[in-house]
Structure 1
C-alpha cells in the first residue's frame, strides 16, 4: 500500500524523510486538458472563501467560534459576512455554500434519533454497522495492553429503550445492531486527547430495528441513554455528536480513502506494468482506473500530506494516516462483507442468494443489484477468452499481474487469503471486486459527502470537548446555552470552511465523467461479441436505475427517505454534472 504522508517523521527518529518535489504521475494517467481546466476552476472558486476568512481571523475582526445555530444556517442562506475586504482582491468577503441536501426539506430532522440511526444504513457511511453477537455483551472490552476492563453496557440498560423487548429475545431474532469504533480509535485515543484541541471517545452505539497499565490508567466506560428533556437531552445530543465524529473520521480515513482510493491504486499500477493494452483483462479493467493515480497524487500533495488539510481538520490530526494504514486488513466482495458483518446470510431462495438482516437496507439492496449486474457482465466477458481453467493458469501475463498485485502492490497483506488465480471463477470474482470498488463502492461513500456532511452540525469531523459532568463550569454552561455547548464541542469556523470546501469539490461530478455502463470510445475492442455483451450490461443498468427509483417512491420503505425526506439515490448509475447525490463513475476519478 502506497499511503505514506509526505514529510511525516518516522516514529522516534526525529528526522523527516526528504519528500520528492512533486508527486509523479505518468503522462497517460493525468487528467484530460478539459477536465483539468474545469477541476482547477472549481478549486479556485471554492477555496476563494478561505483567504478572506484567514485575514479576518488574523486581524481578530471575527471569531473562530460560531455564534449559535443561526450563524451556521446563514452559511447556506445569504452567507456570513466578514467584516473585512482585501484591497485589490476579487475574492468574496462573504462565506456562502450551497444548501446541503440534508436540510433542504427540514432544518431540524437531522437531530432526530430515527435519522441518526437511518444514516448508518442509508447515509454516507453505510458499511460499518453490524449485527450484535450474544457473546459480546458478556465479554469485557479488550484493551491494547491485553488487560481487560469490564464493560458498563448491561442488558438492563439496553432494555430501558427497547419497548419491553428483552435483549435475549432481540439477539435470538437478530434484531440488535452495533456501530463499533472501539478497536479503530482506542489504540490512538490517548495520543488524540493529548492534542491541543481534541477530546474524543472510542464509541459503541447500539441500535434496535444496538484497570490496567499506565497507558490506559483512568480509562472510563460511560453509557449515555436517549432523553428528550432537560440536561439529559443535551447530553444525548452531545453523545450522538461524538459518535458521528467517530463515524465521520472512520468514513473519510478508512471507508473512503483506504478502502477505495488506496486499495484500487496497486491494481491500476500492476495492470499497466504487466498486461498488454491488447490483453482482454486490460480492456475490461482499464476504464475502472481512469484518473485514479492522478487524483491520488493530488490527495497526497494537499489532503493527506503531513500538515495538510486532513491533519488540520480531522480529529486524529497527525495520527490520521497511521490510523488509516493500521485498519487495512483485506478487501471484501459486497456479499462477503454483508455476511461478515452479520447483515446477511446465504439463502439460495432469496434475491441475489442472500437474506438481509434488515430488509430495508438501501445500500445493500441497491448495491447487490449493481454487484450482480457487474458480475454477470464480467462472467460473460471472461468466458469469451477463458472457457477453460487451464487458460487462466497458462496466461503468463495474467499470472505476472496477479503476482505483483499480491506480493508488491498489497505486499503488506502477504499472509491474507488471496485467490490463487488458477480458475476462471477466481478471475471473475477478482475482476468483479476491482470494478465494484472503483465504481459503486466509491460512489456510495463519496458522493454523499456534501449532501450529508455539508451541514457541519450533522457530520462534524472534530470533537473538542468531552461530555460535561455535573458540577463543572462546562456543565453549567451547557444548562444555560445548549447550542453554545454543542458548537464548542464540534468543529470551529475556520476548520468548517476548509472541510465544507473540500467536500463540495469531492462530491461534484465534472462534465467529463464516464459512468458505469459507458465507455470513452465505442471502439474499445474489435470483438463484436464483447461489444454486444457490454450493451446488454448497459441495458441492465438502466433497468436497475428504474428499479431503484421505484423503491424510493415506496412509502412503506421508510429507510429510503427518512425524516429528512432524502431519497437514497447515490447508487443510481447515471448523473448530470454538479452535486447531485447520484451517479456511479467507472473509476475513483475525484
Structure 2
C-alpha cells in the first residue's frame, strides 16, 4: 500500500467529521466562519482550518478558500476521487463484496465526471446515488441496507477483536461538543441566519465516507505484526539497501562516522541550534588539558577557552522523558551533554571538532565521559548523542518551536483583523495550511501507536507533554526568539570565533532580507509610532495573542505594541519562523535523516557504562522495519515543497484598493525579490566550499508558510 493510501483513512475520518458537523449543527456556517473556536494545544480543533494546497493530497480537488466552507459537491467529488484512487492503486488488499467489481470499477470514472458536471441539488443527488450503488450501498426507504449490515458485522467483529469503530467515536465526540455549545446563549443564531441544508444528500455522503473509511481502516497493514519478535542486529549494507529507491540520497550516507562530519551536523544539520559558547569547562565534562591536547594537537584547553572557541551542546530538556517501547522492543532515551571546539588559526581546516560526550546528565561511575580516544565506545557515544539530537529536533526545534509556535498567530490574525488590514494581508501567505497540517500531525503522527510513538525513544505522552511545554515557553519568551537574538544569546554570532556555521550565515541573509521587506512594507501604512499605538485592530491582535495564545508579545511583553520598530521585529520573527526556520528544520528530514544509522530516532540498547568495555554502536540502532518506517515518514515530510518565499499571489497586490498603495507595495516587494535572488547566488557559491552541502536556506527552497 502506498503512502497516499496509508493516509487515506485519516483523510476520510476528517471528511466524515466535517460532514457530520455540518449536517448536525444548523448554524455550523456561522459558528465556523465567525471563528468562534478556542485555541487549545492539546486538542487541536478540526474546524480551525486554513487553506490546504491540493498538491499535498495528489489527485484530490482543491480545498475551499480560507473564508469558505466546503459544500455538498466538494464532498461528493472528494469521496468519488478517493474511490477511484483506491480502486486504481489497490487490488486484493481492499477488495471484498462491498467494493465494485470490474465493470462497476470502469463506471466510477463516469460517475466522477457526472459529479464534476452536476448543476443543482437534483443532478448532484442522482450522481451521488450512482456512486452509492457502485459501492454496493443499496438504498431502501431512505436508509442503506448495507450500512445496517456493515454496522452489525462491525459490532460482531468488535465483540471478538475489540475493533473500535472510528466513525461511531466521531459521532460521540460531535454529540458531546454539541451539548457544550448549545448551552452557550451566544452560540444560538437568529432564525433568519440559518441556511437550510440538504439532510438527505449529507446522509448519503456520510454513508459513502463510512463505507470507504471502514474498508481502508480494516485493511491497513499492521505495523506491529513484524515487530513482535526482535530480529538480529542488521548490518550497514542492509540499512543502505532501504535507501536505494530514494531519489534524495542522505548526504551522510557514507561519511557519518567521521568526527568532522558528526560535528558539522551541529552547524549544518537538521538541528543546528544546540551550540552554546562557554567561558569555562562545564562541571559535567571536566576534561583535562592533557586529554584535550591528545585530541587537538598544537592547542591548549586554556587557549581555546580564552579565545572563545569551546562550545557546549546540552540536551538536558530531554531528561524528563520516559523510556518508550513498541511491540517487544524496549527503547532508551538519553539526555547527553557534549563539548565541541574550533581548532586554532594555525589549522588548515577550521571545521568544528567533537571533544567529549557524557551520555547522561549526572556524573558517576556508570556514566563516564567518552572522547575520541575511547575506540568503539566513541562511536557508540556519538550515536547516543545523535539519537538525542534527533529527538530534540522533532519535539522541540521542529514541532514546538515552529508548528505549535505559529498556530496562535494564525488564529489571532484571522479573528482580529479585517480582511483588508495591512498586517493581515502581509501575514496571510505565511500562515496558510498551518492549522490543518498541525491537526493532521495531532491525529496521525502523534497518535498513540502512530509513527512518532513507534519511532522516537520516549513515550508518546511524555513526548507530547514536553513539546507543549516548550511551545508555551517560547511563546512566553517571544521577545527573545528573533533569529539574531537567539544567535547572540548562545554566543554563536561571532564568525571569527565560530567561522563555519552555514545555518547562521545563510539564516542571517534571509533574516535581513525579510526584516527589510517588512520594514519597507509597514512603513507605508504606519507613519510613526503614534499610528501603531492607535491601531485598534493591531492592539486587539496583540492582546488576544497574550490572553489566549499565551504569547508575551509587545514592547514589554504585556500585549501592547507601541513602536514601529518593535512591530517590524515582531512581524519579521513570525514570517522568518514560518518560512526560513521551518525550512531549516523540516527539509533535512529527507536530505539527511532518512538514514537511521546517521540519525537514529530511537535507541534500542543501553548506553555504555564503562570506557574500557567496548560496545558496538550497531546494537543501539533500530530494527530494519523501524528504519523503513523512518524513511517513509521523514521522506514524505521533507520532500513536499509548496509555495516559495517572496512569491506572493497576484491577489496580494490586488488587495490594496488605492493605486498609490499598490504601486508602493509592489516596488518594495520587487526589491525583496531582488535581494532573495542575490542571496540565492551567494549561498550557492558558499555551498561549493562546504564539508557537506547545506542548501536548506536557499530562497528557492523556502516555502512561504508551514504547510507540511
Give aligned pairs, total: 488
Residue 24 of structure 1, CA deviation: 1.3
Give CA deviations for 1:86-136 in whole Å, capped at 9, x if unaligned.
xxxxxxxxxx54452315xxx5311100000111101111111121232x5
**Deviation for aligned residue 1:410:** 2.1
Determine which of 251, 258, 262 is the counterpart of 1:112. 258
Q: CA deviation at 1:535?
A: 1.3
Higher relative contact order (CA 8 A, sep 6+): 1
Q: Does 1:327 align with 2:494?
A: no
Alignment of 1:112-511 (within 5 A): 112-134=258-280, 136-137=281-282, 140=283, 152-181=286-315, 183-188=316-321, 191-192=322-323, 197-209=330-342, 220-227=366-373, 232-318=374-460, 319-328=462-471, 329-330=473-474, 331=478, 332-344=481-493, 357-410=497-550, 417=557, 420-468=560-608, 478=615, 482=616, 486-510=617-641
- Kindly tell me: are residues 245 and 37 of structure 1, through their superposed partners in 2, closer, same or farther at Cα, counting changes over 3 Å? same
Given that 2:401 and 2:470 are in contact with CA atoms closer than 8 Å, whether structure 1 keeps it comes out as no
Conserved 8 A contact 2:366-2:610: no
Distance in 1 of aligned mates of 2:496 and 2:640: 31
Match of 2:703 in 1: 585
C-alpha displacement of 1:414: 11
Task: For residue 278 of structure 1, give the secondary structure of its aligned residue in structure 2.
Answer: coil
For the Cα contact (< 8 Å) 1:402–1:421, is it kept in 2?
Answer: yes
Two-structure CA RMSD over aligned residues (Å): 3.3
Aligned residue for 2:650, secondary structure, equals coil
- Between the aligned partners of 2:470 and 2:397, the Cα distance in structure 1 is 10
Is contact 2:255–2:261 with CA below 8 Å preserved after alignment? Answer: yes
Preserved contact between residue 525 and residue 531 of structure 1 (Cα < 8 Å) = no
Q: 1:58 to 1:271 in 2, by over 3 A?
A: closer
Flag the 1:439–1:74 CA change in 2: closer, same or farther, 3 A. same
How much has 1:219 moved relative to structure 2? 8.3
Is the CA contact 1:53–1:494 (under 8 Å) kept in the aligned structure 2? Answer: no
Between structure 1 and structure 2, the one with the greater Rg is 2
Instruction: Say which SS state the counterpart of residue 256 (structure 2) adopts.
Output: helix
Deviation at 1:186, TM superposition (A): 2.4
Measured after TM superposition, the shift of residue 165 of structure 1 is: 2.0
CA distance in 1 between counterparts of 2:261 and 2:436 reads: 36
Q: Tell me how far apart the structure 2 counterparts of residues 538 and 415 of structure 1 sit (CA, whole Å).
A: 30
Aligned to 1:101, what secondary structure does the other structure show?
coil
In the alignment, the residues of structure 1 paired with residue 228 and residue 341 of structure 2 have an alpha-carbon distance, to the nearest angstrom, of 50
More helix by share: 2
Shift of 1:216: 8.3
TM-aligned CA deviation for residue 274 of structure 1: 0.1
CA contact under 8 A between 1:5 and 1:306: conserved in structure 2?
Answer: no
Q: CA deviation at 1:532?
A: 1.5
Q: State the partner residue of 1:57.
A: 226
The answer on whether the counterparts of 1:131 and 1:343 sit within 8 Å (CA) in structure 2 is yes
Q: CA deviation at 1:33?
A: 3.9
Give unmatched runs, 5+ long, in structure 1. Answer: 7-21, 78-95, 142-150, 346-354, 575-582
Distance 1:253 1:390, change over 3 A: same
Q: Is the 8 A contact 1:290 1:588 kept in 2?
A: yes
**Deviation of residue 438 (structure 1)?**
0.2
**d(CA) in 2 for partners of 1:470, 1:294:** 48
CA positional deviation for 1:415: 13
- Identify unmatched segments of 5+ residues in structure 2: 1-37, 61-81, 94-218, 343-354, 356-360, 657-661
Q: Cα 1:55–1:175, aligned 2, differ >3 Å: closer, same or farther?
A: closer
Report if the CA contact (8 A) 2:333-2:458 is conserved. Answer: no
Do the aligned residues in 2 keep the contact of 1:245 with 1:460 (CA within 8 Å)? Answer: yes
Q: Is the 8 A contact 1:31 1:291 kept in 2?
A: yes
Partner of 2:686: 551
Partner of 1:147: none
- Give the 3-state SS of the residue equivalent to 1:374 in structure 2: helix
- Whole-Å Cα distance in 2 between the matches of residues 126 and 58 of structure 1? 33
Query: Residue 52 of structure 2 aligns to a residue in which SS?
Result: coil
1:504-553 deviations in whole A, cap 9, x for unaligned?
A: 1111124xx21111012254433221111111111110111011111123
- Determine helix, strand or coil for the equivalent of 2:312: strand
Is the contact between residue 5 and residue 304 of structure 1 (CA under 8 Å) also seen in structure 2? no
One of 563, 570, 573 as aligned partner of 2:699: 573
CA contact (8 A) 1:235 1:467 kept: no
Residue 52 of structure 2 corresponds to residue 31 of structure 1: yes
User: Are the aligned partners of 1:255 and 1:445 in contact in 2 as well (CA < 8 Å)?
Assistant: yes
Relative to 1, partners in 2 of residues 1:218 and 1:122: Cα closer, same or farther, differing over 3 Å?
closer
Distance 1:363 1:216 in 2: 31
TM-score normalised to structure 2 length: 0.63
